[in-house]
Amino acid sequence: MPTTWDPAHVGDDLVALTRLLGEPHRDLAVLAEGNTSELLEDGRLVVKASGAGLASVTADDFVVVDVGEVMAVVEDPAATQADLTAVLVAAGTERSDGGGPRRGSIETVVHAAVHAVSPDSRATARFIGHTHPTDVVGLLASTVAEEAWAHLVYSDEAVVVGRPLFVPYATPGIDLGRVYVERLRAYVDAHGALPQLVLLANHGIVALAPTPDGVEAVSTMAVKGARVRATAYSVGGVAPLSDAAVEKFFARDDVAERRLNLTRGR
């Protein structure tokens, strides 16, 4: 099914989440950085249109894409960036101001891949927020980028974020989509579930949750995690939690319940 522009499919929750992530004091995104999405009941994906700023979006600033069509391009070795761009264009939406047609963000791939990889993504990742927080990108652009998040460093991070997925840098668009989906599949194979936080080297974060509140919680805790790590590195280095301690923590019923409540916004 081709990409369409249909504001009637854009829910109030998605618009509210998008504006929240774009609030200047949060420093998650500036200008037209970042994007959000919501998975519809029919399996299609509502995603922010290219060029729209998070803080001021309306229902007009989203398009509806077919996950299968997007991923067919990403996983076709012969496909190019131009092929991906063409799939994301909502036909018949040329604007009178000469701005061209509406099309999904070039980073639609980081949203579509989640739903291509996990059969239960609607229950665990109905909403996705991709942002570029300054504190996080600072570490992700450093020489310790992957090392910094190799282990959890404090208990609340374990509760809200869980085990993050690190994805090495690739040019945003089809190149990133190919690396991203490969890493996602490996993560799901290893852990039996999607990550709640994906860290994109030299780029930003992707927060996955069943609710808008969950996306906000994961995004906010990722920023705190970056600040904690930067502070620790500034005074000699990070002393992470041991893997054994984390596993024991995750196994507790009260922690599992708290994690579920936080990601669901309760």
Question: Residue 94: inside a domain, yes or no?
Answer: yes
* Other CB atoms within 10 Å distance of the CB of residue 38: 23
- Pairing mode of beta strands 165-167, 197-200: parallel
Q: What is the CATH number of the domain that holds 124?
A: 3.40.225.10
3-state secondary structure of 197: strand
Residue with tokens 């509806």: 64
Query: Which tens digit of pLDDT belongs to each residue from 77-104?
Result: 999 999 999 999 997 776 655 566 789 9
Query: What pLDDT was estimated at residue 230?
Result: 96
Are the CB atoms for 17 and 215 separated by under 8 Å? yes
- pLDDT < 50: residue spans in the chain: 266
Question: Residue 74: inside a domain, yes or no?
Answer: yes
Query: What pLDDT was estimated at residue 156?
Result: 85
Q: How many domains does the chain have?
A: 1
Question: Residue 50: inside a domain, yes or no?
Answer: yes
Query: What pLDDT was estimated at residue 209?
Result: 95
Instruction: Print the domain residue range for 254.
Output: 7-263
Structure tokens at 213: 């509140």
Question: Residue 1: inside a domain, yes or no?
Answer: no
Compute the distance between CA of residue 242 and CA of residue 238 in angstroms, rounded to an integer.
12
Question: Residue 76: inside a domain, yes or no?
Answer: yes
Q: Where are the alpha helices (DSSP H) in the chain?
A: 12-21, 67-74, 81-88, 108-117, 121-125, 134-140, 145-148, 155-160, 174-191, 212-234, 243-250, 253-263
Question: Residue 2: inside a domain, yes or no?
Answer: no
Radius of gyration of the chain (CA): 18
